[in-house]
Amino acid sequence: MAGRPKIFDEQEVIAKASNIFWEKGYEAASSEELLKAMGIGKGSFYLFFKGGKKELYEKSLKQYANNLLSSIRKDISESDNPIEYLKKFFFQLADTTNIHKAKGCFMGNALVEMATKDEYTKQLVAGLLNELEIIFINTVEKAKEDNLLMTNKSSKLIGSHLLNLWNGLNVTRRMDADDASLEALIKFNLEILT
């Protein structure tokens, strides 16, 4: 006997749950609002997410990160100038029309919330953010090789700076900082890429 078939698209329901977790955090997201957002019943939820809310949260983080990181890698690989792409990537954080501006970064929010509560989730999120740092490091290294970036600073240091900038900007923009102030801050911090 094969068991009960899924009557929903797992990626889709995880994406819907991600929006709730991203907006409210793990603790504040109730099971009822998660089920409502996902459009599935309690029985189906526990049948397919045996680890409950925690499993769903971890899958949400992984799916969000994989989508974001894949998109960044693709955009960089298709870019004529990856340094200019990185600059645009950061400057979009100052855009008021960005619907996620007030929510910050899902991964960063999760790290802050779970760092002292759950070692496994902390390590999971730290690993996902480290993957973003590796993208930054590799992009800088390649740009140096292609003579698109002239600096004697190490690619590792620049990559770490960019990850720190990503994390910091995602917190700062939640403070309702105006676009012009954020843009000036980003410009100042990205001088390392000139």
pLDDT of 168-192, one tens digit each? 998 888 887 788 888 999 999 999 9
Residue 30 in domain = no
Residue 28 in domain = no
Confidence tier at 85 by pLDDT (50, 70, 90): very high
Euclidean distance between CA atoms 93 and 189, whole angstroms: 13
Domain count within the chain: 1
Residue 61 contacts residue 108 (beta carbons within 8 Å): no
pLDDT of 147-159, one tens digit each? 999 999 999 999 9
| Structural domain harbouring 145 | 52-193
DSSP 190: G
pTM for this prediction: 0.89
Residue 125 in domain = yes
Residue 98 in domain = yes
Task: Say which CATH number the domain at 151 has.
Answer: 1.10.357.10
Euclidean distance between CA atoms 147 and 128, whole angstroms: 29
Residue 103 in domain = yes
Residue 38 contacts residue 7 (beta carbons within 8 Å): no
Phi, psi of 103, rounded to the nearest 5 degrees: -95, -10
Do you know the residue count of the chain? 194
pLDDT of 56-79, one tens digit each? 999 999 999 999 999 999 999 999
